Structure 1
Amino acid sequence: MKRYLVIYNPSSGKELAGYKIFNAAETVMSIENIEFSFYATKKKGDGEEAAIRGCRSGYDMIIACGGDGTVHEVVNGMMKCPQRPKLAIMPAGTINDFAEQLKLPKSQDNFASLILKNNFRTIDVGKVNDDYFVNVVGGGAFTTIPHRVTIDAKTILGKYAYYYQAAVQVPEELELSQLIDYTIDGVEYSYNTLLFLVINSSGAGGFRYLCPNAKLDDGLLDIVIFEKTTNADLFQIFTKVFNGQHITHPKVHYFQGEKIKIIPEKELLIDTDGDPGGYAPANISSVHKAIDILVP
């Protein structure tokens, strides 16, 4: 009998995550001989610890049910274990950036069908200093917005809580910039940076084509750097982000690399999959084909 461990955040998705994953598991068990165990996270770090225990206990698959933060913790736990089970993600958070990139179903019935199809893809995972990430590491303007949105606001407003917070912060965020030195696979660059993003998939923050050439299994991370420039330039860049054409703008710099080092001129908080990830300097690398993940 296969054994699956579900790690879920009960406060995710307007507090419906538990209900959705219980029903999906019930559907699967009515068709397949699979044993499900459930663990509800209560505080930061619980998901990582539960994933480590799941790896050591020999589960066949770990299912992360929640938002990007839950997925981030589960992957960090799995990456700290030499023997890793397969991973599934049931998106139940407010934004679900990584799940959106993989086109994972949100409904309980469709997720149950996904489990029964049993189709997997081996993907890369990023590493920043001693932490791991599945989707994005960023620094500079707008990267602290997810940290300022309260759980209550997300429960009431959903993804619009982030849009509201972004609108409130626009004036101060556009004034943020500093000189940052980048070393990408041994080649050095320096830019007066408004925002940088290192992405494993092609998108983040609801923007699907931030890194239009990205692949999840090529052993490379994609880096997009937005230089400090005029508001008119920024507006032009913003209008092109939706189709990936922003990378042709002279104030946007786009690279791919396996190893990236980031050294800022001043103190810089790093965002990792939507959560605070410590301060730069940052050593970032790709862990090639690290995890088998359930996909449509």
Structure 2
Amino acid sequence: MYRRARLIYNPTAGREMFVRQLPRILERLERAGLETSCHATREPGQATIAARQASERGFDVVIAAGGDGTVHEVVTGISQGPHRPILGVLPCGTTNDFARGMGLPRDLLRACDVIGDGFVRTVDAGRVGDRLFVNVAAVGDVTAVTYEAPSRLKTLVGPLAYYLKGLEKIGSLSRSFPVRIEADGRQWEEDILLMMVANTRSVGGFEQLAPKADLNDGKLDVIVVRKTGIADLIPLVRIARKGGHIYDPSVVYFQARYLYVESDEPLRWNLDGELGGILPGICEALPGHLRVFCPRPAVKDRTEPDETVLV
């Protein structure tokens, strides 16, 4: 029996590679039993509207094709009504952190096969105020790099766009700010450079930035970088590629289900690379909020009763 799927895609993602492969992608999905229609986004916010409309129209599956920003918008859209379709992801963005966290292949046709196989995991999301995130909520000047890097530049040069934008802001990366944090009953104050609340291990292309993160443990992983100078920050970035930063004395790393964060400065949340409001704010885990197509695990690795959706 065919199941109805809505494919929402960013035509500029992945250096416009997705559009070139779209006919083959649709053929692959149809062959797997998914009756698929498409919606191309043209500006920020359209993926959320399209995903909400797909949910209201009773689509069984909504597929986000793009980067983490597209996934963020689609998840926001499918979460706004009583019917929540299963989420599929075709990763073709700049860093694809959520897709990495789910173990999805970067090859788009292989990612279609993951959806067609029908294995579904229940995974957590996070919430700041009334807004969701699936990968990371962050506070600090460096987080502005993600939404200030022009989309056309990301299309042309990929992840290098973030590094180029980061070089422009290098002088402000050492500017600290005071925060007061309450996490699962623990409270403290500190001057920090950056705070990230991660749902997945991969953040900003760093595959072990939150090395203990688990997408279905009902917890968020919190990384706080204390006030330090650029001379100390640069080697910290280097060891962060393998997860060694969590043992550095300038880093606080812990897990929590709930956080309250405030500051005397008007700091902005960054949610999955998008603007997410001003502090203060409550950040909390939403256990089992989403059902997502993912690669089928080896039998020896199965520890929970995930579902297989027949298409």
Asked if the contact 1:135/1:201 (under 8 Å) is kept, the reply is yes
Could you tell me how far apart the structure 2 residues matched to 1:186 and 1:21 are? 49
CA offsets, 1:106-159, max 9 Å, x none? 323212321221111110010011110000010113100012211221122111
What's 1:216 paired with? 215
Equivalent runs, 1:21-40 vs 2, <5 Å: 21-29=22-30, 31-40=31-40
What is the Cα deviation at residue 187 of structure 1? 1.5
User: Residues 15, 2 of structure 1: CA spacing in aligned structure 2 closer, same or farther, 3 A cutoff?
Assistant: same
Equivalent runs, 1:258-277 vs 2, <5 Å: 258-277=257-276
What's 2:288 paired with? 289
Q: Which runs of 5+ in 2 are unaligned?
A: 296-311
What is the Cα deviation at residue 84 of structure 1? 0.7
Asked if the contact 2:173/2:230 (under 8 Å) is kept, the reply is no
Q: Tell me the matched-pair count.
A: 294
Could you tell me how far apart the structure 1 residues matched to 2:251 and 2:32 are? 50
Q: Does residue 122 in structure 1 map to residue 122 in structure 2?
A: yes
The secondary structure found in structure 2 opposite 1:206 is: coil
CA offsets, 1:198-240, max 9 Å, x none? 0001121111112111110011001010001233432342232
Could you tell me how far apart the structure 1 residues matched to 2:88 and 2:20 are? 17
Q: Which runs of 5+ in 1 are unaligned?
A: none
Could you tell me how far apart the structure 1 residues matched to 2:270 and 2:202 are? 15
What's 1:197 paired with? 196
Q: Does residue 4 in structure 1 map to residue 5 in structure 2?
A: yes
What is the Cα deviation at residue 196 of structure 1? 0.4
Q: Does residue 15 in structure 1 map to residue 16 in structure 2?
A: yes
Could you tell me which amino acid in structure 2 is paired with residue 79 of structure 1? S
CA offsets, 1:262-288, max 9 Å, x none? 101211011110111121111111110
User: Residues 21, 185 of structure 1: CA spacing in aligned structure 2 closer, same or farther, 3 A cutoff?
Assistant: farther
The secondary structure found in structure 2 opposite 1:260 is: strand
What is the Cα deviation at residue 53 of structure 1? 1.1
Could you tell me which amino acid in structure 2 is paired with residue 82 of structure 1? P
What's 2:144 paired with? 144
Equivalent runs, 1:49-128 vs 2, <5 Å: 49-128=49-128
Equivalent runs, 1:226-245 vs 2, <5 Å: 226-245=225-244
Asked if the contact 1:21/1:65 (under 8 Å) is kept, the reply is no
User: Residues 172, 70 of structure 1: CA spacing in aligned structure 2 closer, same or farther, 3 A cutoff?
Assistant: same
The secondary structure found in structure 1 opposite 2:218 is: coil
Could you tell me how far apart the structure 2 residues matched to 1:283 and 1:293 are? 25
Could you tell me how far apart the structure 2 residues matched to 1:33 and 1:71 are? 23
Identity of aligned residues (%): 34
User: Residues 21, 187 of structure 1: CA spacing in aligned structure 2 closer, same or farther, 3 A cutoff?
Assistant: farther
CA offsets, 1:73-132, max 9 Å, x none? 000111212221110100111221211222312323212321221111110010011110
Which stretch shows the higher mean deviation, 96-105 or 262-271? 96-105
| RMSD (CA atoms) | 1.4
Provide TM-score, normalisation by structure 1: 0.95
Could you tell me which amino acid in structure 1 is paired with residue 128 of structure 2? V
Which stretch shows the higher mean deviation, 79-88 or 189-198? 79-88
What's 1:133 paired with? 133
Provide TM-score, normalisation by structure 2: 0.90
Could you tell me how far apart the structure 2 residues matched to 1:159 and 1:231 are? 22
Asked if the contact 1:223/1:254 (under 8 Å) is kept, the reply is yes
Asked if the contact 1:126/1:132 (under 8 Å) is kept, the reply is yes
Could you tell me which amino acid in structure 2 is paired with residue 260 of structure 1? L
Could you tell me which amino acid in structure 2 is paired with residue 197 of structure 1? M
What's 1:252 paired with? 251
Asked if the contact 1:24/1:111 (under 8 Å) is kept, the reply is no
What is the Cα deviation at residue 65 of structure 1? 0.4
Asked if the contact 1:177/1:193 (under 8 Å) is kept, the reply is yes
Asked if the contact 2:118/2:293 (under 8 Å) is kept, the reply is yes
Could you tell me how far apart the structure 2 residues matched to 1:246 and 1:54 are? 42
Could you tell me how far apart the structure 2 residues matched to 1:22 and 1:276 are? 33
Could you tell me how far apart the structure 2 residues matched to 1:206 and 1:59 are? 32
Could you tell me which amino acid in structure 1 is paired with residue 292 of structure 2? I
Could you tell me how far apart the structure 2 residues matched to 1:33 and 1:73 are? 26
CA offsets, 1:248-273, max 9 Å, x none? 22221111111111101211011110
